[in-house]
Amino acid sequence: MELKKMVGYKAAEFVEEGMVVGLGTGSTAYYMVEALGKRIKEEGLTITGVTTSSRTSEHAQSVGIPLKDIDEVEKIDVTIDGADEISADYQGIKGGGGALLFEKIVASYSDKVIWIVDESKLVDKLGAFPLPVEVVSFGSGQLLRLFEKKGYRPTLRTDEDGQTYQTDSGNYIIDLEMNEITNPHQLGEWLDGLTGVVEHGLFLDCVHTVIVGYEDGPEVKDVR
Ligand code: 5RP
């Protein structure tokens, strides 16, 4: 079985009757949504989904997962999402799929956060994967210059038609080629303090369980 499918289906086993479930975005989270749809049909599982993107909303609806807006639920019991990179101390980069803002909001109102990845996403230190930074369009050129001066080799993300990529909130994404992020907390705080930055893809101290897909099966690591 494909590793992404393996961990997506494994993670769906963690969902219990009556739970409010945060549904992540991306090609790995896709399988978790598919698996939950199957459990609803085959076991009569009753859950409520809170999605992290319009893409995931469409998919979840198509497989029969009842959805609520994040503001309609008291809290989220568990959120299951993919990641672009996970370091040896379980910090993460997310946002390769452009959904980092909603993903971080949903994760921060969740009792438990599970990341599902194939083994290729595990790294010693973060930074080989370009760090996504979501910015408002106004002044985004100034932020590009600032990142350039810092040596972060920024790129304004474009879509498949070569147009500037827009997030579900209508913002832009600047991807930073950091190579190695020596102090993720310091970098995260600096980015948080920049006017015009809406959110960044450093997901720090937020994951509880990581499910890693290896050729010989999934490994569940409880990390906090
Ligand atoms: C989307 C994300 C995804 O979780 C991340 O990009 C991993 O995606 P995939 O499972 O397709 O490799 O953060 O914003």
Record the pTM: 0.98
36 Cα to the center of ligand 1, angstroms = 18
The dihedral of CA 133, 134, 136, 137: what is its sign?
positive
Tell me the two tokens of residue 28: 């790995």
Complete domains list, the chain, with CATH = 3-122+204-222 (3.40.50.1360), 131-198 (3.30.70.260)
What digits encode the pLDDT tens for the residues 109-147?
999 999 999 999 999 999 999 999 999 999 999 999 999
Is the Cβ atom of 37 under 6 angstroms away from ligand 1?
Answer: no
33 Cα to the center of ligand 1, angstroms = 14
First vs last C-alpha separation in the chain: 29
What digits encode the pLDDT tens for the residues 27-58?
999 999 999 999 999 999 999 999 999 999 99
Question: Which atom belonging to ligand 1 lies closest to the Cα atom of 26?
Answer: 11
The CB density around residue 179, as the number of other CB atoms within 10 Å, is 12
- Of 157, 151, 203, 140, which is closest to residue 177 (Cα–Cα)? 151
27 Cα to the center of ligand 1, angstroms = 7
Amino acid 91: pLDDT: 98
Q: How far apart are CA 5 and CA 20, in angstroms?
A: 22
Amino acid 1: pLDDT: 76
Is the Cβ atom of 103 under 6 angstroms away from ligand 1?
Answer: yes
What digits encode the pLDDT tens for the residues 187-199?
999 999 999 999 9
Q: How far apart are CA 61 and CA 150, in angstroms?
A: 43
Residue nearest to atom 6 of ligand 1 (CA): 96
Q: Which of 103, 148, 177, 180 is catalytic?
A: 103
Tell me the two tokens of residue 128: 């080989």
What digits encode the pLDDT tens for the residues 150-160?
999 999 999 99
Buried b (16+ CB within 10 A) or exposed e, 76-105: bbbbbbbbbbbbeebbbbbbbbbbbbbbbe
Amino acid 194: pLDDT: 98
Q: How far apart are CA 76 and CA 85, in angstroms?
A: 24
Amino acid 101: pLDDT: 98
Q: Is position 103 annotated as part of the catalytic site? A: yes
Pairing of strands 209-214, 110-118: parallel
Distance of CA 57 to the CA centre of its chain: 15
Give the whole-number percent of the chain exceeding pLDDT 90.
100
Average pLDDT of the residues in 92-103: 98
Amino acid 196: pLDDT: 98
